[in-house]
Chain A
Amino acid sequence: MKTKVYDVVIVGAGISGALVADQLKRKGRSVLILEAGLDEGLKPSSYQDYLEHFYTQEVKVPNSPYPNNPNAPQSNVLDIQKIEPGKPDVSGYYVQYGPLPFSSTNTRAVGGTTLHWLGICLRMLPNDFRMRSKYGYGVDWPLKYKDLKSYYEQAELEIGVSADVEDLWYPGTNASFFGKGYRFPMHKIPPSYLDQVLTRRLKGMIYYDQQDEVKIDVVSIPQGRNSIPNKHYIDPRTNKPYQPVSAVGHPHMGERCEGNSSCIPICPVQAKYNALKTLDKAVNGKGKGRVEVRTQCVVSRLEIDSDNGKIKGVIYQHYPGSHKERTAVGKCYVLAASAIENAKLMLASGAAKTSGQLGCNLMDHPYLLTWALMPDPVGPFRGPFSTSGIPSFRDGPFRKRHSAFRTDIGNWGWNFPTGAPFSDVQLMVDQHNLFGKELRNQLYNSVQKQFRFGFLIEQIPQTSNRVTIDPNHVDAMGNYRPVIYYNLSEYELAGFATAKSFSDQVFQRLGAAQFTSYAPSDPGFVQYEGMGYSFHGSGHIVGTHRMGNHAHDSVVSKTQKCWDHQNLYLVGCGSMPTIGTSNPTLTMAALALQASESIINDLR
């Protein structure tokens, strides 16, 4: 039987793979997407199964709705634990050598991690692209902000971002950041009551970071969730006003965020963007080309032509069944399976060896939480996870001393730090011995005043933070499990210290009772200058196949084409040389759209 040759074979049906497939289809190309996970979610009934599964999970974490699949195993934050020196933690999917646990997870199913992402769509700031030359840390990108700007605009359309330009302000930017007349497809997601309280109470606040004056502002966050369309936004694809994209298979559901307070781990109405929407468009929508999604196909490696370094095929196994190896063939190949899986596949194939950077520079936003009780009820557990933030520490001269960070204002009380409100019930019944009306009163009075900050700390790339493989650690199908080495540097720890000190000052200003506590038994407990801090993962898995200007120090070029394999693209957060302080999905989407143009050119 003759093997079908596709124009492009894509590995991974998440946001990057879906965007690339959709762009190629519009240009008349044939695309095969191989996805390791199940196709749940593309059918409305099975998306509902995810939701039902979520309801009955005792501990609700990002992957709670999405059952682990032994053929395509995934990480889970419940597996994260302290790592004993010299002894890897093998209890979860990751094999963790530490010294600190890598605490971010992704989802292996059609739709990828956008099934449980939060939906925040922030552009990176101009100085994020020149960290080395401006602040002496990390590396510079081979791109400048202005090179990505039009792709950011396109990504904001494809995802469907809600924001009002006139509300937005970021340090180190001016009016050219968005440009004259720019609009988002939809108006902003309305700010929570808590946002309004903080906006009023923090107005005019200045924080002194040594000699640097940091002006504190509460600013609305652009979000990939549906809001009221901006009637002045004309969709360039249709030349008509923008139409919010509803739930897959449910044309009348999800055109607005309904305040389900469950963006992570699952938006019940799909008002939050997920890659199922782009995949549905790519497979079933208009376009001259053809996109085929084949699920339950676990790729194990690439076949490389030893003469010219080009990729000859993708080797995969289908389950259930014999697990016989099959080969998918294309003119061009795209790995879009997440930073960790991309690195793993490349290492398993003996690919991209020139730079020595493959698998290295794994990054996340170490996430520091602080929490307090406000003097009055603030109405938590309503609306999206976070509707406003404080961007003041996203850029500034302090980046010569410590990490920049983004501050988000959490709308769900102490859900993240303590597991509220479930933990409050347990505590009040089992420890405080409350019952009856007094229990009701105390729950109201305590939970209604819960407030927390989250600080996303910029992590600087280090070659020693990396993903590798080891034949001793394989999964049920015999594929490699990711082996991870991860640590934080003084630069990030100094960022924790500044964030905590800033938070203390805000709590004092608000008259909020501090309840933040970090225990040495926490998996992410670290010490810096005599103080302890505990960090979590942000789910922002970045680095591992960094882009750059040269084959000797980077894995891919600025279009995400692999230096060593000229018909192979590695797309996704793995290509980002630094992480900045933006949640990375929007940048990943912009980069995927840019790569699509390059792939289309290559195929000509």
Chain B
Amino acid sequence: MLVTKMDKEKFDNFLLLSSKLTGFPKLDLLGTGLALDYYDLVKSIIGDTILDQLYNAGIEIFSKDHEVTLEEEYIRDKILSDSKFGPVARSMIKLWYLGQWDPLPAGWRAEFGSHTEDTGRIISSESYQEGLVWVAIAAHPMGAKQPGFGSWTQPPQKDLR
């Protein structure tokens, strides 16, 4: 539950960051029905402080309009290549794409703290089914969201962008 205004703001930051990292619009992320679960999970694993710092590291692009190539470079410079934020960002991308949490590297945990929830697993049957990878490859989750009899005879969908 997001009670306070600050909670809502932080959740919104999480969504915006997730959107930049995954390449999916916020609406698609909300459409999985899992955004809040993922926010809570990441928050519990890395803690409020690091999550705030992570968002602040990218604050300039999240608050202003930048040219796309610069934005990409900025995210690489400030987040993906950062020893504190990079591993978290990569686990977040995989969380959205696969519905799975990939544990943070041992070195990260030694330096920034470890949490019991930081274990490798598929979060839930919903998270598996809502993995963005299936949308990205123009398919459906194997074993779910059945496309219907004979659908496989049709030519592949074009890139969904």
Contacts and interface: CB of A to CB of B under 8 A. Distances in A.
A439 interface: yes
A439 B93 contact: yes
B72 A436 contact: yes
Contacts of A421: 133-134, 137, 139
A52 interface: yes
A448 B47 CA distance: 38
Contacts of B89: 435
Nearest to A443: B136
A587 B139 CA distance: 34
A259 B156 contact: no
A370 interface: no
Given A56-B125, A421-B133, A439 B23 contact: yes
Q: Is the interface of A mostly helix, strand, loop or mixed?
A: loop
Which of A54, A382, A422, A437 has the most chain B CB within a 10 Å cutoff? A382
A57 B121 CA distance: 8
A465 to B, nearest CB: 33
Interface in B144-160: 144, 146-157, 159-160
Contacts of B159: 441, 444-445
A422 B98 CA distance: 7
Contact of A426 (B76, B94, B142): B94
A326 interface: no
Interface in A219-271: 227, 256-262, 266, 268-269
Contacts of A438: 23, 72
A232 to B, nearest CB: 20
A377 B90 CA distance: 27
B155 A258 contact: no
Interface residues of A, number: 56
Contacts of A424: 133
B56 interface: no
A441 B156 contact: no
Contact of A261 (B94, B100, B142, B155): B142
A429 B93 contact: yes
B83 interface: no
Contact of B146 (A52, A268, A387, A443): A268
A18 B154 CA distance: 37
B80 to A, nearest CB: 7
B20 interface: yes
Interface stretch (A168-176, A186-194, A519-527, A549-557): A186-194
Interface string A116-159: 00000000000000000000000000000000000000000000
A269 B146 contact: yes
Q: 6 closest A-B pairs (Cβ-Cβ)?
A: A383-B152, A379-B156, A262-B143, A55-B125, A381-B139, A258-B146
